Amino acid sequence: MLSYDHARQKVIEVARARRRAPATELAELGQAFDRVLAHRVIADRDYPPFDRSTRDGFAVRAQDVGARSGTLEIIGEIKAGDTFTGVIGPGQCVQIMTGAAVPPGADAVVMIEHTKPSKTRVVIERAVEPGQNIVPRGSEAKASQVLLETATRLGYPELALAAQVGEHRLQVFRRPCVAILSTGDEVVRVDEIPGPFQVRNSNGVSLGVLTALAGAEPVPLGNAPDRAGPLRGLTERGLEADVLVLSGGVSMGKYDLVEMVLRELGAEFFFDAVAIRPGRPTVFGTCRDKLVFGLPGNPVSTMVTFELFVLPAIDILGGAAPRPLPFFRARLAAPVSQRAPLTHFLPAQLNWTTGEPVVSELPWQGSGDIVTLAAANCFLVVPQAKLELAAGEWVDVFPRRGMF
């Protein structure tokens, strides 16, 4: 059975091989957050475009003051945005504001706090180094330099950078469409009153939200009963999207028909089990040239396996690089012990109250228990290779999306 990282690698490999250059669309900067850039962004000029003062103070010639203090003649004033035509000569200076261009002749700015100005003269009270409090022209970026590469995911600094260079609209890759189909005779719509042994379709909701958070367009297809005919019909509809994600019907039960129906439709499978809990019976394949995931129906399994396996596929089809799993290390509060030789993802609480990250497993009822997951802010990862973890050990933590 594949480990989760090998299974992930497989998904990445298959998604890359199937990736067609996604179509692009134009997005206003305000609408482009988290989209994937479809071209490079180039510096339209040097940044900063002039030698920029980083302080309110006086623009001086360092050599006039040097290691001593000194008195200089004030020959003018420069605000941010001003053009100053004069040249600073020996013994002269100009009052300057933050963000203004340092005038020719000056090579340092002295903070106002280190001076004693009068009307026409100023006493500089500290030693002055050439270059101090000046960001030289072109030191952040040179004109024509590539600032953002194609395939960059656009966060707030990237959008601010695009704005800075005047790209008020960006070409971004079209979001991939992800069809979401749950299965199960016992599953009813969330606005229905379930019978005593029925469950509401919570997976439709979690998968829709996770899909949107991943940067794709969810196409909700509702629920298919555990009968080959209707399941086949809805599966075929799902194959019109870029990715089809099914939930349920992938275990060994008599009515777990997803793999069979997909096989009849010509699917090729790359794995149908992964050495994880929850989520072991996860199925991944291609069908009619589309990526198909059959995720186990237990709600926590569905969410964990989406994050582990579907997310990198969406990244790739959306024109980006697959985001790495954002694992980090935390100290374990109490010992943890698992029996099954699988990598376990246990709902857990992470806190920093002692100044370092400490993680505590939450008692839970297994992969159907969304009540506990909603009280967790992360998964504690118990690796297959080490099922007994002692209190105080550093362990892997997989944050719940949006929690940190």
Binding site for ligand AMP (CB under 6 A): 182, 184, 186-187, 199, 201-204, 247-251, 253, 296-299, 368
- Which of the listed partners (Mg ion, ligand AMP, none) does 298 bind, with a CB threshold of 5 to 8 Å by partner kind? ligand AMP
Find the binder of Mg ion among 184, 204, 281, 285 (CB under 5 A).
Answer: 184
279 vs 297, beta carbon nearer Mg ion: 297
Q: How far is CA 258 from CA 182, 247, 297, 314, in A?
A: 10, 9, 11, 21
- Which of the listed partners (ligand AMP, Mg ion, none) does 182 bind, with a CB threshold of 5 to 8 Å by partner kind? ligand AMP
Range 352-359 contact pairs with CB under 8 angstroms and sequence separation of 24 or more: 356/330, 356/331, 357/328, 357/329, 357/330, 357/331, 357/397, 358/330, 358/331, 358/332, 358/333, 359/330, 359/331, 359/332, 359/333, 359/395, 359/397
Distance CA 332, CA 344 (A): 15
Binding mask 53-82 for Mg ion (x = CB under 5 A): ------------------------------
- Which of the listed partners (ligand AMP, Mg ion, none) does 366 bind, with a CB threshold of 5 to 8 Å by partner kind? none
- Which of the listed partners (Mg ion, ligand AMP, none) does 186 bind, with a CB threshold of 5 to 8 Å by partner kind? ligand AMP
Specify whether the CB–CB gap between 400 and 379 falls below 8 A: yes
251 vs 338, beta carbon nearer ligand AMP: 251
- Which of the listed partners (Mg ion, ligand AMP, none) does 187 bind, with a CB threshold of 5 to 8 Å by partner kind? ligand AMP
Q: According to CB under 5 A, which residues from 221 to 250 bind Mg ion?
A: 248-249
Q: What is the smallest separation between the CB atom of 253 and Mg ion, expressed in angstroms?
A: 7
Which residue's Cβ has the minimum distance to ligand AMP? Answer: 297
Cα within 13 Å of Cα(240), Cβ side: 8
Cα-to-chain-centroid distance, residue 396: 19
Distance CA 46, CA 52 (A): 12
Q: Which residues of 136-170 are buried (b: 16+ CB within 10 A; e: fewer)?
A: ebbebbeeeeebbeebbbbeeebbebbeebebeeb
Q: According to CB under 5 A, which residues from 199 to 218 bind Mg ion?
A: none
115 vs 305, beta carbon nearer Mg ion: 305
CA diameter of the chain: 94
Distance CA 196, CA 187 (A): 12
- Which of the listed partners (Mg ion, ligand AMP, none) does 299 bind, with a CB threshold of 5 to 8 Å by partner kind? ligand AMP
Distance CA 154, CA 33 (A): 5
248 vs 318, beta carbon nearer ligand AMP: 248
96 vs 178, beta carbon nearer ligand AMP: 178
218 vs 249, beta carbon nearer Mg ion: 249
133 vs 302, beta carbon nearer ligand AMP: 302
Binding segment for Mg ion (CB under 5 A), chosen from 212-220, 295-303, 319-327, 355-363, is 295-303
Q: According to CB under 5 A, which residues from 296 to 315 bind Mg ion?
A: 297
Distance CA 139, CA 51 (A): 9
Distance CA 292, CA 17 (A): 14
- Which of the listed partners (ligand AMP, Mg ion, none) does 178 bind, with a CB threshold of 5 to 8 Å by partner kind? none
- Which of the listed partners (ligand AMP, Mg ion, none) does 285 bind, with a CB threshold of 5 to 8 Å by partner kind? none
| 341, two tokens | 């030789």
Q: What is the smallest separation between the CB atom of 202 and ligand AMP, expressed in angstroms?
A: 4
Q: What is the smallest separation between the CB atom of 267 and ligand AMP, expressed in angstroms?
A: 18
Q: How far is CA 182 from CA 138, 255, 305, in A?
A: 55, 14, 14
What residue ranges bind Mg ion (CB under 5 A)? 184, 248-249, 297
